[in-house]
């Protein structure tokens, strides 16, 4: 894996991590806090260029974005401190995005419990820590449907995980665990309550890359 510094239009240097090749999509991974390195590892294994995003200017030139899991309150405070909420909200309105665990919470329009700095771009209501606190973390099969009429099983790793209580009319349910909604899709945005980056199954990251390629044609 090779790192290189590139200049944005403002002249600021940002670090990209990539492997040799051409015409690869560049995917940002929000790196304020949480499991961002694991997402970088998985995307790199799929041949994408990646960029760790900590400032608004580092969104420039990206083809897609991952918002990782982590501590959702801390992540929200850091977003506000770094002035990221507005630029992130604008970016995810126009680019493919994958949000995992706390990333799903960030994308949501509403939460049932607690004040959160939300991007409010997905018409869903989430419940934080719905499956329980850290001691109630678990692994379980997830019923996943990324294509119409196709249902598959994916191994889900749930850590202080939310679930989705309500979905709006433009939202598809794409994943369930024990009857609860743990994955949703709205347009080019996907949010899941579990941590695919902590396992070895790349399907959700591969789906994000497919969405990016489709958006570039």
How far apart are the C-alpha atoms of 62 and 55, rounded to whole Å?
13
188, 195, 205, 211: the active-site residue: 195
58, 143, 197, 211: the active-site residue: 197
Strands 26-30 and 163-167: unpaired
Q: Are 34 and 40 in contact (CB under 8 A)?
A: no
71 catalytically annotated: no
38, 52, 58, 101: the active-site residue: 101
Q: Are 26 and 50 in contact (CB under 8 A)?
A: yes
54: enclosing H helix or E strand: none
E strands, the chain, in order: 2-7, 13-18, 26-30, 49-53, 64-67, 97-100, 108-111, 122-127, 138-147, 150-158, 163-167, 172-177, 180-186, 189-192
Strands 138-147 and 172-177: antiparallel
**13 forms bridges with which residues in the sheet?**
7
Half-sphere exposure for 217 (CA within 13 Å, toward CB): 6
Torsion, Cα 47 53 58 59, to 10 degrees, reads 70
177 catalytically annotated: no
Task: For residue 130, give the DSSP letter.
Answer: T
101 catalytically annotated: yes
Q: Which residues are catalytic?
A: 101, 195, 197
């Amino acid at each position: 894996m090779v790192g290189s510094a590139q200049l944005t239009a403002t002249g600021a240097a940002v670090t990209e991590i990539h492997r040799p090749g051409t015409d690869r999509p560049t995917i940002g991974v929000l790196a304020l806090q949480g499991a961002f390195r694991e997402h970088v590892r998985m995307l790199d294994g799929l041949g994408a260029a990646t960029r760790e995003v900590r400032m608004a200017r580092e969104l420039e030139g990206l083809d897609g974005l991952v918002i990782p899991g982590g501590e959702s309150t801390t992540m929200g405070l850091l977003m506000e401190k770094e002035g990221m909420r507005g630029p992130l909200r604008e970016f995810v309105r126009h680019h493919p995005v994958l949000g995992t665990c706390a990333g799903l919470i960030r994308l949501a329009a509403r939460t049932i419990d607690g004040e959160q700095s939300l991007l409010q771009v997905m018409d869903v209501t989430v419940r934080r820590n719905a499956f329980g606190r850290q001691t109630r973390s678990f692994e379980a099969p997830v019923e996943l449907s990324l294509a119409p009429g196709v249902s598959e099983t994916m191994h889900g790793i749930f850590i202080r995980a939310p679930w989705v209580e309500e979905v709006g009319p433009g939202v598809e349910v794409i994943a369930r665990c024990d009857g609860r909604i743990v994955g949703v899709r709205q347009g080019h945005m996907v949010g899941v309550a579990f941590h695919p980056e902590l396992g070895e199954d790349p399907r959700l990251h591969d789906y994000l890359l497919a969405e990016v390629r489709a958006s570039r044609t």
